[in-house]
Amino acid sequence: MKQNRITELDLHDVPQVYHNLKYNDGEIYFADNISSIPGLMKQFKVNFIAYVMVTAGKLTLDLNGITHQLDKNTSLFVDRKMVIDNVKHTEEFRCIICAMSTDMGFAFFNKSLLQSIIHIMSNPVIKLEQNEVDLMMKYYELLLFKMDHQEMNFGRETVRDIIRCFAYDLLSNINKHLDGDNDGEMLRQGDRIYRRFMLLLAENTNVNRSVKSYADELYVSPKYLTSVCRRHSDYTASELIATSVVSRIKQLLLYSDLSIKEVAAEMGFDNLSFFGKYVKKHLGLSPNNYRKANGYGK
């Protein structure tokens, strides 16, 4: 946990802060009853994305200086680098929370889902109907059942498929509560460019790794695109592209039967040696060793 002017909570800090996680595979965490977490009342910044659904009681907090009040059946979306402060809750407060790395978010969300998320981030609190909450709870119960039966085959892969379905249905339900198409709002040029860039990343097959090609498609300079990305996410355009590409590479390495050479070709790498260096740079291991280290084929 980083201590600067404000405490920064990284994803790998989560197991240290809260020991009763329901699920933890290093990139995705599920928990409930988080009201007992020490230091929850202090101001902190998250370096991951999270979804919170209140199942009982009430929660009040400041998100980037804006106060939000959540009661039963209310959902909250927290984006990377958001500052959380003044957390208060009633004694009976309970919730379900899912936290995941940014690149895992890229792996889960396609263009239509990402567009929903862009809308949601301007209004991160959504009140769900009881039948929508019931569906989300069914998914959660299925996850708990799956995690209690680890002897079944394809454990982590199945859990991630369940979480992906959870995300799809959740965002589908939330779309019903959005007021029209927020793209019609008056936005600054930088806001529009960033939104369009993120949508291009989501719909791209991830073979495009050039900042210039994205900038050309958006009719801006690479330097301007990078400055826009830094202002909106603290990432450069190159870093966001790499995050998207690496998330796809990880999916193919761990959850497909493609050979290393076929994965490289699928991702647009003509040179197998360059692909190996790219993977080692971003994942710390060669493609083959990354598969071995993550139990591929077991």
* Boundaries of every domain in the chain: 2-175, 186-293
pLDDT at 79 (0 to 100)? 80
Strand partners, 67: 62
pLDDT at 151 (0 to 100)? 61
The encoded tokens of residue 73 equal: 């059946």
pLDDT at 216 (0 to 100)? 92
Give the helix/strand (H/E) hosting 44. strand 44-46
Q: Quick count: other Cβ atoms within 10 Å of Cβ 105?
A: 21
Q: For the chain, list residues with pLDDT below 50.
A: 180-186
> What is d(CA 96, CA 136) in angstroms, rounded to the nearest whole number?
10
pLDDT at 185 (0 to 100)? 44
> What is d(CA 13, CA 36) in angstroms, rounded to the nearest whole number?
16
pLDDT at 58 (0 to 100)? 92
Strand partners, 46: 9
Three-state SS at 98? strand
| pLDDT tens-place string over residues 238-255 | 988 888 888 888 888 887
The encoded tokens of residue 80 equal: 């990377």
- For domain 186-293, the CATH superfamily is Homeodomain-like (1.10.10.60)
> What is d(CA 198, CA 247) in angstroms, rounded to the nearest whole number?
15
By residue count, the chain amounts to 298
Alpha carbon of 194 to those of 100, 123, 175, 264, 277: distances in Å?
22, 17, 21, 28, 29
> What is d(CA 135, CA 50) in angstroms, rounded to the nearest whole number?
19
Three-state SS at 51? strand
pLDDT at 182 (0 to 100)? 47
pLDDT at 122 (0 to 100)? 66
Query: b vs e for 233-251, b when ≥16 Cβ sit within 10 Å of the residue's Cβ?
Result: bebbbbbbbbbbbbbbbbb
pLDDT at 298 (0 to 100)? 54
Domain covering 2-175, topology: Jelly Rolls (2.60.120)
pLDDT at 215 (0 to 100)? 92
